[in-house]
Homo-oligomer: A and B are copies of this chain.
Amino acid sequence: MQSRIKVLRYGHRELRDFRVTTHCALVSRALGAEEIIIQGKEDEKIINNIKQINQNFGSEFKIRFIKNWKPEIKKLKKENWKLIHLTMYGESITEKIEEIKKEEKIIILIGSQKVEREVYEKADFNVAVTNQPHSEIASLAITLNEIYEGKKLNEQFIGAKKIIIPQTKGKKIIEKK
């Protein structure tokens, strides 16, 4: 069984978080999540970036903005999605990964701003990718890669117009018409 994964980006701030949230979305897509849900003011530029990348490089990765994380999480939890909150204060991912991998449906919540107490309470797992301050992009990447056991590192995406052919030196892209 391969877990389905959605990513919830908590507390996206317009403009200020543009690049970091874009990285989060691209990492989610590249490493096998099916959707990113962004809590914050809708930003068409981010949506269009991702759609453009889907068109060029394949996949049906989805992106949407929501105003409030709470009703979204409530709804998803009713549908048996488990909430994994990535936080430097949580339990080590190395201890929790086997348990997490067994879940069929996983929401990975990553903060931007300081995260409300309620997120810790609602989470099924509060998980730390090191107990050091670093980057939600990095934590997300490692978590996705661990859940999928590295399998997404060589995934071919369906519907790609541009396909990159790995090279020792330089670049090779095949473009389908």
* Chain A contact residues, CB within 8 Å of chain B: 19-20, 23, 26-27, 29-31, 53, 57, 88-94, 117, 120-121, 123, 126, 128-135, 137-142, 145, 150, 152-155, 157, 163-164, 166-173
New A-B contacts (4) at CB < 8 Å, excluding given A131-B164, A139-B141 = A19-B19, A30-B138, A89-B171, A117-B170
Contact partner of A150 (CB less than 8 A), chosen from B94, B123, B154, B171, is B94
**Whole-angstrom distance between the alpha carbons of A75 and B15 in the complex?**
40
Contact B152 A130, beta carbon cutoff 8 Å: yes
Question: Which 4 pairs between the two chains have the least Cβ-Cβ distance?
Answer: A138-B141, A23-B135, A30-B132, A26-B134
- Nearest chain B CB to A50 CB, angstrom units: 10
Integer count of this chain's copies in the complex: 2
**Whole-angstrom distance between the alpha carbons of A23 and B135 in the complex?**
5
The residue among A30, A53, A89, A130 with the most chain B CB atoms within 10 A of its own CB is A130
A23-B137, A140-B138 given; A167·B130 CB < 8 A? no
Chain B residue nearest to A53 (CB atoms) is B133
Contact A166 B90, beta carbon cutoff 8 Å: yes
The residue among A120, A132, A171 with the most chain B CB atoms within 10 A of its own CB is A132
Which residues on B sit within 8 Å (CB–CB) of A137? 23, 135, 137-138, 141
Chain B residue nearest to A137 (CB atoms) is B137
Which residues on B sit within 8 Å (CB–CB) of A90? 166-168
